[in-house]
Structure 1
Amino acid sequence: MAHRFLLLLLLALAPLCLDAAPASARSGKLAAGMVAAANPRAAEAGMAILRQGGSAMDAAVAIQAMLGLVEPQSSGIGGGAFLLYWDAAAQKLHAYDGRETAPAADSPDQFLHADGTPMDFYEAVVGGLAVGVPGVPRLLELAHRNHGKLPWAGLFQPAIALAREGFQVSPRLAMEIAEDPYLNRFDTPKTYFYRPDGSPKQAGDRLVNEPYAETLEALAGGGADAFYKGRIAEDIVKTVRAAPGDPGRMTAADLAGYQARERDPLCSGYRSYKVCGMPPPTSGGIAVLQMLGILENFQLGKEAPNSLDAVHLMAEAGRLAFADRNAYVADSDFVPVPVARLLDKTYLRKRAALVERSHSLGVAEPGQIKQKAAVTRQYEPPSTTHFVVVDAAGNVVSMTSSVENAFGSRLMVDGFILNNQLTDFSFVPQVDEVAVANRVEPGKRPRSSMSPTIVFDDEGRFFAATGSPGGSAIIGYVLQDLIALIDWHLTAQQAVALPHVVNRNGVTDLEAGTALSGDVQALTARGHEVRLRPLVSGLHTIRRVEGVYDGGADPRREGVVLAE
């Protein structure tokens, strides 16, 4: 753990620099566009598409294909995603759900032992049982069909070429390989990520991924059907069902029947801005908007960035939002989610009235929206990726994508990692004879915390797009970024670099090694239980101010902003 923390600090202080890529960029008028992504290779792949006249959605396909190669621990075509798309010409915001689904044979008790006790988290993660039907290929195809300009097949060529040519392992990827105790459990990832002597590959080692190139060629030529039907689908099913010790229940029919969905985005006012996010099955959109609705009752603009009072108020808003999230939010196709009530301004004013500046409210109770609700918490490890694209026409993509835990299920097939997203369901299906909203059900999408966000000013113009990896801490990271941009008028780069405070209705986590360490005593005096720990966000943000685009890449990871 000490090794990991030290390397995280080094990454924060010295972000990876390839091809002289800047950590942030600014342009009066974008000739091609702007990309903020978690890896320089991925950002460049997106920019190459924009230079060809592609739309933001075209670039997003190329970025995700590349991230699945160079950042496989975080996202890829074996995982799921949520995507917001701002169509500048039509002045319309679209929301796309590519979240994984539970196979038809799955059941509410599948993460319980025979005696009824829940599995340990990693007991459930590693292997086939936690693999959900991947959603990324269908999501990309659906969104590209609606918003793409360039031919689908050409968007995969940068990643195909690099997969065959090979690329150097980055410091962060090397750290994740070295720190993971499960990745070498299965032959395919062991062969790929480890040296012949069994030691983990190091930063600078070369990775060549011919199977991934072949998979992308199949996608390029046959569309998403090439993934969900035929050879690749057969390989996925065989790998999942034959996983040693923890086989899954996925079938060819589960893959063939998967559908990405276009949903109605969630939007609410904050100050003079309109903030928009994703609806369920992610809890991110609701929780971020709830926290903003609570904090709107306080004059945060008069507080210095991350002052003691600001930190206290953000933590208290987090307690209240997570209390509601843990009780009420799940896949709305299966469970009635009281979205309108949760975002009602009168309700949020009542929740805000529970907040006192002088003392923490402690563990918050969910609001009385339903007569009975089963409250559960589920561990969400801090993996995932986020990227933002703006094209020359002003179209915007804000996309969060994930395989859930680092390296997902640790199963690898045809060059890509398979997710473990089903562990985002509650392991316990009922509490006190009340069904848990986020229990496992066949075909259901597990609750997420992914929070891609797009903000508009008081004239309806695009103002900012942001999002982050980080498990359930994503919600706090995005909330803080929005406050920094709107209330504190920081640049995108200043906003993503702020030290983090996160409260998920329990401990108040402060980012270790930052100025927030000095707040521990004062917050403790206000009744907070405080913990100093690494909070490794991966925020990527683009904002527009008076016609100038301003990008920020989180210094805690390897991301960059590119623009022309």
Structure 2
Amino acid sequence: MTYHLIAALSAPLLIAGCATPMVEEMSVNSVPETKIAIAGSVSAADPRAQAAGEAMLAAGGSATDAAIAVMLALTVVEPQSSGIGGGGFYVRGTADGQVETLDGRETAPAGADPQWFMSEDGKLLPYREALLSGLSVGVPGNIAMVAKAHEKHGKLPWAKLFEPAIKLAKDGFAVNRRLNRSLDGQFGRAGLTEYGRKTYYTPDGEPKPVGTIITNPDIVFTLETLAEKGTAGFYESGYAVELANTVRLKTPRNGGMTAADVNGYVSKEREPVCGRYRGYKVCGMGPPSSGAVAVVQILGQLERFDLASLGADNPVTWHLFLESQRLAYADREIYLADSDYVNVPVKGLVDPSYMAQRSALIDPAKAIEKAMPGTPDGAPSIAWADGDEPPENGTSHFAVVDKDGTMVSYTSTIEGPFGSGLIFGGFYLNNELTDFSRSPERDGRMVANRVEGGKRPRSSMAPTIVYDPDGKPFAAIGAAGGTTIPVQTARGIIGLIDFSLPVDEALGLPLLMAFGERVLVEEGTWFEEQTDTFKAFGHDQIIARKPPLKAGAVHWNGAEWVSARDPRLDGLLETTSE
């Protein structure tokens, strides 16, 4: 089998252990080739945001400083996916193996209740009606989270981290092919507000062409205010009152967002979720994220199989991968939610003996007829019901390692493309509350991931850091793409560890994913050609599509840190028309 793997755009040339950063003059609005050599590495889905992070490392900043600068720059150049109008998860690991995680997930307003998405007659509101309203908007958490991270681990002044993003918004940035394609067909969402229409569309309602320079004066004001005032400029001022009013006025029921909801937002330190895979230590974000549990379970359930000997071009390898996914996601649907509101048996779910018990259900020759959730230690005596969460979509992942060997893996999101469509302060507000189950109960049983006031919706985000068997930093990795995120992340780790692939090739491995008994295979790849083979294993319902994939990583290859983004982005980041 031959994979058509293309080197990630502008992966920087990085000098391992370089004590003195060496920098060439570079515009953060360009699509740089190899322009900068630094002691460390940055991966981001947009080269201009990656350049912002590299500039922080070159100035002597920490991995945390660089990651914050990337998030802020993405708010400007990647408005469809992430930014300060949403939330995220931050995973940090030091060179000596100390891991910490911060939860910046959005929260439901205090007035929200399990009937949040119900009409007065007790029926579910049409999804799009709920989506394009204040019902879908949670209190943004990114700024609170990065402020807490900077207070603990920042080296550069807070205001300096905003400079690249402010420059991009003030001087203007060029529309790349990816943004142009994201805007196409999204006029009713991205152009929901007058500001959105004026900023991103032509007068006749067409997406602004590739290469068009876009400025965003409202976000310049927002970023300059935050740079000067810190979190007070977002959560404690008249700005917070205006934010809450904007959302509440678009909320077609009582209980909408208030200034007190915004004032009261807290980014929380969480216990990292860690596991072992072939001697490597794999750590990520716990609830309300399902990401780390799913990644650790997928890997742990596969450990008894010799994937390296089977090989990357063997259908058996990927049948096993599918089966492990199915078991992990069956647990995810029942048990994972905000652990401040429901009992999530995290330790039981990632206990090696439980994962071995689940792994024993995997048959290398045939598919499980129906993957059911297990019963880990700590599971509730009466199981939660499976909810009806709509598919997740948006998100951006970025990863950094600095000269000290500290890794940061950070996934940021506004949920779907252009979030709720509502714009405030020049940025799109998230639609994260649609990540809750729209129905609070099923078949007489409550759903763990139901809406409740102050609660954080379950997420698939899986920012992950990996240490090698000697305990040394090995990789920071993660992905965007909704429910495919844990699968993309686990696949990338398998590519690095089992198949010893270069990081860009590991990220470029084709995707196949199980959705219950249905299997999605990436269209145009070797997997599509193997449809009959997978059917012979018992995977009867196979769909070939091109799912939204956007993984990223930094990886120590034994000689240097190497940065890569998903090669599927190749060409989409160009700012010149074809």
TM-score tier (shorter): over 0.9
Deviation at 1:176, TM superposition (A): 0.8
Contact 1:126/1:246 (CA < 8 Å) preserved in 2?
no
Q: Which amino acid aligns with 1:388?
A: A
Deviation at 1:377, TM superposition (A): 4.0
Counterparts in 2 of 1:304-453, with a 5 A limit?
304-368=311-375, 369-373=379-383, 374-453=385-464
SS in structure 1 opposite 2:81?
coil
Q: Which amino acid aligns with 1:72?
A: P
Check if 1:498 corresponds to 2:486: no
Deviation at 1:354, TM superposition (A): 1.1
Check if 1:520 corresponds to 2:527: no
Contact 2:189/2:418 (CA < 8 Å) preserved in 1?
no
For residue 113 of structure 2, the aligned residue among 107, 110, 114 is 107
1:546 corresponds in structure 2 to 558
Residue range with higher mean Cα deviation, 348-357 or 459-468: 348-357
Task: From the superposition, tell whether residues 201 and 231 of structure 1 become closer, same or farther in structure 2 (CA, over 3 Å).
Answer: farther
Check if 1:487 corresponds to 2:494: no
Contact 2:135/2:251 (CA < 8 Å) preserved in 1?
no
Cα deviation 1:94-143 (Å, max 9, x = unaligned): 10100000100001011123343333432221121110000000000000
1:22 corresponds in structure 2 to 10
Task: From the superposition, tell whether residues 348 and 141 of structure 1 become closer, same or farther in structure 2 (CA, over 3 Å).
Answer: same
Q: Which amino acid aligns with 1:256?
A: N
Q: Residues of 1 paired with 2:251 and 2:431: CA distance? A: 15
1:4 corresponds in structure 2 to none
Q: Residues of 2 paired with 1:261 and 1:123: CA distance? A: 31
For residue 135 of structure 1, the aligned residue among 135, 141, 144 is 141
Q: Which amino acid aligns with 2:548?
A: V
Deviation at 1:344, TM superposition (A): 1.3
Q: Residues of 2 paired with 1:346 and 1:13: CA distance? A: 37
Check if 1:82 corresponds to 2:94: no
Count of residue correspondences: 544
2:211 corresponds in structure 1 to 204
Deviation at 1:301, TM superposition (A): 1.4
Check if 1:535 corresponds to 2:541: no
Q: Residues of 2 paired with 1:64 and 1:206: CA distance? A: 21
Deviation at 1:408, TM superposition (A): 0.3
Cα deviation 1:132-177 (Å, max 9, x = unaligned): 0000000000001111001101110111112110111111111111
2:246 corresponds in structure 1 to 239
Check if 1:475 corresponds to 2:486: yes
Q: Which amino acid aligns with 2:396?
A: T
Contact 2:14/2:39 (CA < 8 Å) preserved in 1?
no
Q: Which amino acid aligns with 1:461?
A: K
Percent identity reads 43
Task: From the superposition, tell whether residues 552 and 248 of structure 1 become closer, same or farther in structure 2 (CA, over 3 Å).
Answer: farther
2:30 corresponds in structure 1 to none
Cα deviation 1:178-197 (Å, max 9, x = unaligned): 12142223222122111123
Task: From the superposition, tell whether residues 252 and 403 of structure 1 become closer, same or farther in structure 2 (CA, over 3 Å).
Answer: same
SS in structure 2 opposite 1:240?
helix
Task: From the superposition, tell whether residues 298 and 121 of structure 1 become closer, same or farther in structure 2 (CA, over 3 Å).
Answer: farther
Deviation at 1:356, TM superposition (A): 1.2
Structure 2 spans left out of the alignment, 5+ residues: 19-37, 574-578
Q: Which amino acid aligns with 1:422?
A: L
1:302 corresponds in structure 2 to 309
Check if 1:164 corresponds to 2:164: no
Q: Which amino acid aligns with 2:151?
A: R
Residue range with higher mean Cα deviation, 76-85 or 301-310: 301-310
Q: Residues of 1 paired with 2:292 and 2:160: CA distance? A: 33
Contact 2:17/2:39 (CA < 8 Å) preserved in 1?
no
Structure 1 spans left out of the alignment, 5+ residues: 1-11
SS in structure 2 opposite 1:468?
strand
Deviation at 1:305, TM superposition (A): 1.0
Please, what is the CA RMSD of the aligned residues?
1.9
Cα deviation 1:367-417 (Å, max 9, x = unaligned): 134433212242233210000111112111100000000000000011111
1:3 corresponds in structure 2 to none
Higher relative contact order (CA 8 A, sep 6+): 1
TM-score scaled by length of structure 1: 0.93
Check if 1:37 corresponds to 2:44: yes
Deviation at 1:306, TM superposition (A): 4.6
Contact 2:91/2:102 (CA < 8 Å) preserved in 1?
yes
Cα deviation 1:220-249 (Å, max 9, x = unaligned): 111111111223212211221222868971
Counterparts in 2 of 1:158-237, with a 5 A limit?
158-180=164-186, 181-237=188-244
Deviation at 1:26, TM superposition (A): 5.4
1:69 corresponds in structure 2 to 76
Q: Residues of 1 paired with 2:535 and 2:167: CA distance? A: 54
Q: Residues of 2 paired with 1:257 and 1:370: CA distance? A: 30
Deviation at 1:484, TM superposition (A): 0.6
1:557 corresponds in structure 2 to 569
Cα deviation 1:345-372 (Å, max 9, x = unaligned): 1111111111112211133111134433
Q: Residues of 2 paired with 1:337 and 1:103: CA distance? A: 22
Contact 1:85/1:95 (CA < 8 Å) preserved in 2?
yes
SS in structure 2 opposite 1:362?
coil
SS in structure 2 opposite 1:293?
helix
2:150 corresponds in structure 1 to 144
TM-score scaled by length of structure 2: 0.91
2:23 corresponds in structure 1 to none
Q: Which amino acid aligns with 2:174?
A: Q
Residue range with higher mean Cα deviation, 317-326 or 428-437: 428-437
SS in structure 2 opposite 1:269?
strand
Q: Residues of 1 paired with 2:316 and 2:47: CA distance? A: 37
2:466 corresponds in structure 1 to 455
Contact 1:74/1:385 (CA < 8 Å) preserved in 2?
yes
Deviation at 1:477, TM superposition (A): 0.5
Task: From the superposition, tell whether residues 118 and 162 of structure 1 become closer, same or farther in structure 2 (CA, over 3 Å).
Answer: same
2:62 corresponds in structure 1 to 55
Contact 2:189/2:420 (CA < 8 Å) preserved in 1?
no
